[in-house]
Structure 1
Amino acid sequence: MDEQTKLRQITSPCVSICKYNGNNFCVGCNRHMSEIFDWFDYSDEMRTAIMKDLSTRDIDANT
């Protein structure tokens, strides 16, 4: 599989609202800063796990 195909398997949950709270979580997509930076290095399995976890995160913009 070429690199471009790999990058399209699990798309980023980014919604272009890039604002971080005090705990380094993005209030737009609910990912931690490290998850955002490492997204393209993660396997599809890791990306899928993060995507499932995002729906349960309660990110406070002020925390």
Structure 2
Amino acid sequence: MSTPCKNICKYDKTDTYCIGCYRTINEIAQWMIFSEEKRIEIMRLLPGRKKDLSSQ
């Protein structure tokens, strides 16, 4: 699975999520070593994170 990175690499006001890919710093750092299942799990969370950040 490819990375959801958009090459924006800036964080929200709370430094929780990247505003480009909506992953945490930890998720970005460990993406290449996560299992396929873990990556799929994270990918499923991204639309909700995007929605949450859009409403702030």
TM-score of the alignment, normalized to the shorter chain, above 0.5: yes
- 2:48 counterpart SS class: coil
User: What CA distance in whole angstroms lies between the structure 1 residues aligned with 2:39 and 2:15?
Assistant: 21
- Mark the structure with the bigger radius of gyration: 1
Q: What are the Cα deviations for residues 18-54 of structure 1, in whole angstroms up to 9, with x where unaligned?
A: 1012233100100011100000010000000000110
Q: Percent identity?
A: 40
The structure whose RCO (Cα within 8 Å, separation 6+) is larger is 1
Unaligned runs of 5+ in 2: none
Question: What are structure 1's unaligned runs of at least 5 residues?
Answer: 1-9
RMSD: 1.5
Question: Partners of 2:45 and 2:17 in 1: how far apart?
Answer: 13
Deviating beyond 4 angstroms after TM superposition, the runs of 4 or more aligned structure 1 residues are none
